[in-house]
Chains A and B, each alone.
Chain A
Amino acid sequence: MANGEQLVVYHSPSISHHSLLTTHHMRNLLIFITKYSAFFLFLIFEGIALFIFVNYNNFQRASFINTSNEVTGNLYRNISNVNDYLKLKEINDSLARQNALLRNQLMSSLYVDTAGRKKINDTVYKQQYTYIEARVINNSVNKRMNYITINKGSLNGIAKGMGVIADGGVVGIVMQASPHFSVIRSLLHKDTRISAMLAKSKEGGSFMWAEDMDPHKGLLYDVANSAQPHLGDTVVTDQHSLFPIGIPLGRVSNLKPKTGGFFLNMEVKLSVDFSKLEYVYVINNKFAQEQQGLEALQKTDE
C-alpha cells in the first residue's frame, strides 16, 4: 500500500516537469535576491559611484557634478559675497600693494639708464599673454586634491588648460570652464606638475606639492646633480611650462627633503598663501592653440 502511493507520487508530475522546475528556480532566485537585497543594492550603487569617480579623475571628462554648475557655483558665490565684506580691509591692502608694484613698472617711473629694465617692455610690442582677472568663490587646502572655483567662465574667454596666477605666483591650471564659472586644479593637488627652474642658475626641474599636505610647502625635484642650489633661491616657471617664463613658485627652504625623484630635490616655501586667496589672473596665451596644433602635427608624423 505504502509502496503504491509512493510510486504514484513519484510519477505524476512528469507532465509539467520542465515548467515547474523553472518557476521553482525563479522563485528561489527571487527569494535569494530579496534576502540579500542589501548586498545587491550595495554592489549596484558602489559600482555607479566608482565608475563616476574613475572616469572623472582619469579622463578629466566634462561633468556637471562639481562647483562649475549653476546651483553649487551660485551658492558658493553668494556665500563668498558675504565673506568678502568681512575681508575688505585685507583685500584693499593687497590691491594697494599690487597698485604700487604696477606703478613702479610704468614707463613714467623709470629712468632710461639700464638695459635690464627695458626688457619689461618687450611684451608691449607683441603681447603674447593677456590676463583675465577673476574672484575666488570657493577654495580648499586640506585635501589631497584641492580645487578652486572662480566667478568667470567661457563667456569671459577662459578655456581648459590655461594657467592661473595670483599676485604672488602660480595658483593652478584651469580644468573646466562653464559659461559663468571655472574650476581650477590647484597647485595643491596630487597630480599637478609644473615645469620649473632655479631663477639664478636656470637649472630646470619639476615642481609638485609635497605629500605631507602642508599648504605652504612644495617640492622641486629631478634637478640635475650639477646644480648648486642655496637656501632662499627663487624657484620660477621655465620655458616648458604653460605659464610665462619667470612666474615665481616660491623659495628654496630645505635642501634635503624626505621624498622626491632620483636627482637633486629641494623643499620650496610657496609664495602664494592658498588659504587667503582672493583674486587671481587667468593667463590667455595667444599662441597656445597655434603651438598645440603644430605639436599635434608633429605627433601624427612620427
Chain B
Amino acid sequence: MSRVLFANFLRFILLVFIQAFLLKNVTVYDLSVPYPYILFVMLLPFETPNIILFPLAFLMGLSIDAFYDTPGLHAAATVLIAFVRVLFISITVQKDGFDNEPEPTLSSMGFRWFFTYSLIITLVHHFLLFNLEVFRLSEMEYTLTRFLMSSVFTVFLMLITGLLFFRKKRA
C-alpha cells in the first residue's frame, strides 16, 4: 500500500516537472504539442475509489495550469478524462481479475488494451483542451489539426514510456 502511494506521488512530481520544464516549449511545426502528464490519471491503481480519483485528477490539472498560466483549463480536461477512465475500465475490465496486477499499465494489460485506453483518453483530453483554449468556431480548422497532431504525439510518448517501464510478467 505505501509502495503504491509512494510510486504515484513520485509519478505526479516527475510528470509535472517534465511537462512544465521540458515539454512546455516542444512543438512540431507550430501544430503538435504533447501533454503526456495525463499518464498520472491513467496509471492510478484500478481500485482507486472515485472520491480520491477525481480530486487527484483535478489537482494534477491545476498543477499544470499553475505552470502554464491557464487556471482551470487543464483541470477541466483532466477531470473529464477521470470520468472517461471510470467508464472505460468498467466496460473493459472484469472486477475480480486483478489480485496481483493492480495498475492499468502496458506491461500488465497488454499492448492492445493499453493502446485503446491511451488513445481514447488522449483524444477526449486534447479535444476539450484545445477547443476550450481557443473557444472560437471560426478557427475550427486549425484547432482540429492541432488536436489531431498533438494527440498522435502524446500517444506516441505514452507508448514509449510504457515500453520503457515494461516489466515482464512472472510466469
Contact = CB atoms under 8 A, between A and B. Distances in A.
A53 B51 contact: no
B146 A213 contact: yes
B61 A49 contact: yes
B83 to A, nearest CB: 4
Contacts of A76: 67
A120 B58 CA distance: 54
B50 A37 contact: yes
Contacts of B30: 142, 212-215
A63 B133 contact: no
- Chain B interface secondary structure, helix, strand, loop or mixed? helix
Interface in B43-77: 50-51, 53-55, 57-58, 61-62, 65-73, 75-76
Range class of the A interface residue count: 35 or more
B67 A72 contact: yes
Interface in B115-139: 132-134, 136, 138-139
A145 B31 contact: no
Contacts of B80: 42, 46
Interface in A47-84: 48-56, 63, 65-67, 69, 71-72, 75-76, 79
Interface in B128-155: 132-134, 136, 138-139, 142, 146
A88 B133 CA distance: 35
Nearest to A214: B30
Given A141-B25, A211-B142, A69 B66 contact: yes
Nearest to B76: A49
7 contacts: A41-B54, A45-B55, A45-B75, A53-B75, A67-B69, A71-B66, A145-B133
